Amino acid sequence: MSYKIGTKCVQSGYTPKNGEPRILPIYQSTTFKYESSEQMGRLFDLEESGYFYSRLQNPTCDAVAAKIADLEGGVAAMLTSSGQAASFFSIFNICSAGDHVISSAAIYGGTFNLLDVTIRKMGIDVTFIAPDSTKEEIIAASKPNTKCVFAETLSNPALVVLDIECFAEAAHEIGVPLIVDNTFPTPINCRPFAFGADIVIHSTTKYMDGHATSIGGVIIDSGNFDWTKYAEKFPGLCTPDESYHGITYTEKFGKGAYITKATAQMMRDLGSIQSPFDAFLLNLGLETLPLRVKQHCANAQKVAEFLHNHPKVTWVNYPGLEDNEYHALAQKYLPDGSSGVVAFGVAGGREAATKLMDAMQLAAIVTHVADARTCLLHPASTTHRQLTDEQLVACGVSPELIRLSVGIEDAEDIIADLEQALAQL
Ligand SMILES: *Cc1c(COP(=O)(O)O)cnc(C)c1O
């Protein structure tokens, strides 16, 4: 039976059998017991599926991964220790030294550094392109060694709405998958696979957890990209893995090849798993995701309209505003709302921005976004601090930009807080 997304948020991933716990148990165990060493040997050879060590797989984590795969409409998923780990492994699973990645420049500051500094150190070249590049421009950025295209569906903090179909068509013409970070819209507001994306990642730290309790990430595979069609580009998936006695992931696991390799090889060797307890908390967050996302979006729309009409506010960026640059794209890709994040600037630039933030009472200054409590951050002096002015402009982050993450409190209280703080400028 196929359920709607709200039902999946509550029901997917874990179905107890007769007499078993109704709620997903926390399997807080590093290891699993077997009767014979021969059977465990088969697990090590990937000849049989089963649990043996939680660095590779754990039942609590797997149930939550299965729920998220279902929410995104994918075939398989893997939880990671953070959103950063999800971004890294989504790329590193198919790229190695000598390869090349194309990425939208409008991405989270941490991901920008990962690609621009750390991945380059590993010998993987990166070309950043404008987030509103045409198909021709994306293809022109490709090289014979390009292995993937990376972008954010709704960028943090610039709130650029990605033309997913355009990026997917370009990636497929190049013969590589489109990987998108769907953290801000969540699968409630956007399911990128429906528009041609091949791999989706999330920082589950944000709306999915929703309560700012646990750092985590997830990688989901649509199962749609045909690796074997471009076998010469993806030897890690399409030729034997000597570290598993010569199994070939695409032959043995079909549509599950990408996630199986990420689990069996990446996690085995580099170990960036989510803990069962954090996965349990994430699962609780997922149960109420549709309710919270709806309230975040309704509040953010009201807050954006209030700011839009305020004389001390010079600009407001929220895709739900009719005069927003990305309103048309948002109507296509995010018809039910974008997210609770609103970016704006006040007259008086960087100095006034800091003063306004200090004057807020309900909304707290925190390095976080996308949880139940309203919070704000000045990216130019925090998350995007390492970037040069040119890089800031390329990411769509101006020096005075305030990122307001509208929570699920009563909108009237959030607006009253902004009103009193703006009055102090
Ligand atoms: C926060 C964030 C990340 C990084 O996630 P962590 O869980 O903090 O490692 C990646 N992408 C986006 C869009 C984010 O907002």
> For residue range 349-401, what is the model confidence (pLDDT) as tens digits?
888 988 999 999 999 999 889 999 999 998 877 877 777 778 777 777 787 88
Q: Find the 303 Cα to ligand 1 centroid distance in Å.
A: 24
Token pair belonging to 236: 């890690």
Q: State the Rg of the chain over Cα.
A: 22
Contacts of 281 (CB under 8 A, 6+ apart): 209, 211, 213, 214
Q: Is 377 helix (H, G, I), strand (E, B) or coil?
A: strand
Is the beta carbon of 285 within 6 A of some atom in ligand 1? no
Q: Are strands 313-317 and 76-80 parallel, antiparallel or unpaired?
A: unpaired
Q: Which residue from 207, 190, 186 is spatially nearest to 331, judged by alpha carbons?
A: 190
Q: Find the 213 Cα to ligand 1 centroid distance in Å.
A: 14
Domain extent listing, the chain: 5-284, 290-422
We find that the CATH architecture of domain 290-422 is Alpha-Beta Complex (3.90)
Cα-Cα-Cα-Cα torsion 73, 76, 80, 86, nearest 10 degrees, comes to -60
**Cα–Cα dist 154/188, whole Å:** 13
Nearest CA to ligand 1 atom 4: 83
**Cα–Cα dist 115/131, whole Å:** 16
Q: Do residues 370 and 339 make contact, with C-beta atoms less than 8 angstroms apart?
A: yes
Is the beta carbon of 84 within 6 A of some atom in ligand 1? yes
Nearest CA to ligand 1 atom 7: 83
Domain covering 5-284, topology:
Aspartate Aminotransferase; domain 2 (3.40.640)
Is the beta carbon of 203 within 6 A of some atom in ligand 1? yes
- SS3 annotation, 312-353: CEEEEECCCCCCCCCHHHHHHHCCCCCCCEEEEEECCHHHHH
**Cα–Cα dist 201/183, whole Å:** 7
Q: Find the 114 Cα to ligand 1 centroid distance in Å.
A: 11
Residue with tokens 């949880």: 371
Residue 184: CB atoms within 10 Å: 27
Ligand 1 pocket test target in 84, 186, 281 with most atoms within 8 Å of CB? 84
Q: Find the 172 Cα to ligand 1 centroid distance in Å.
A: 26
Nearest CA to ligand 1 atom 8: 83
Is the beta carbon of 80 within 6 A of some atom in ligand 1? no
Single-letter amino acid, residue 157: P
Q: Find the 83 Cα to ligand 1 centroid distance in Å.
A: 5
Ligand 1 pocket test target in 90, 156, 366 with most atoms within 8 Å of CB? 156
pLDDT number for residue 152:
98
Closest approach atom of ligand 1 to CA 369: 15
Return per-residue pLDDT of the chain as tens, 425 residues: 789 999 999 999 999 999 999 999 999 999 999 988 898 888 888 888 889 999 999 999 999 999 999 999 999 999 999 999 999 999 999 999 999 999 999 999 899 999 999 999 999 999 999 999 999 999 999 999 999 999 999 999 889 999 999 999 999 999 999 999 999 999 999 999 999 999 999 999 999 999 999 999 999 999 999 999 999 999 999 999 999 889 999 999 999 999 999 999 999 999 999 999 999 999 999 999 999 999 999 999 999 999 999 999 999 999 999 999 999 999 999 999 999 999 999 998 888 988 999 999 999 999 889 999 999 998 877 877 777 778 777 777 787 889 999 999 999 999 999 999 999 99
Closest approach atom of ligand 1 to CA 87: 10
Q: Which residue from 90, 97, 279, 87 is spatially nearest to 176, judged by alpha carbons?
A: 90
Q: Find the 403 Cα to ligand 1 centroid distance in Å.
A: 15
Is the beta carbon of 83 within 6 A of some atom in ligand 1? yes
Please tell me the pTM assigned to this model.
Answer: 0.96
Ligand 1 pocket test target in 80, 111, 161 with most atoms within 8 Å of CB? 111
Is the beta carbon of 205 within 6 A of some atom in ligand 1? yes
Q: Do residues 373 and 407 make contact, with C-beta atoms less than 8 angstroms apart?
A: yes
**Cα–Cα dist 69/263, whole Å:** 15
Is the beta carbon of 214 within 6 A of some atom in ligand 1? no
Q: Find the 157 Cα to ligand 1 centroid distance in Å.
A: 11
Is the beta carbon of 206 within 6 A of some atom in ligand 1? yes
Q: Find the 21 Cα to ligand 1 centroid distance in Å.
A: 33
Closest approach atom of ligand 1 to CA 370: 15
**Cα–Cα dist 42/38, whole Å:** 6
**Cα–Cα dist 69/200, whole Å:** 10
| pLDDT tens for each residue of 100-140 | 999 999 999 899 999 999 999 999 999 999 999 999 999 99
Q: Do residues 273 and 79 make contact, with C-beta atoms less than 8 angstroms apart?
A: yes
Q: Find the 73 Cα to ligand 1 centroid distance in Å.
A: 21
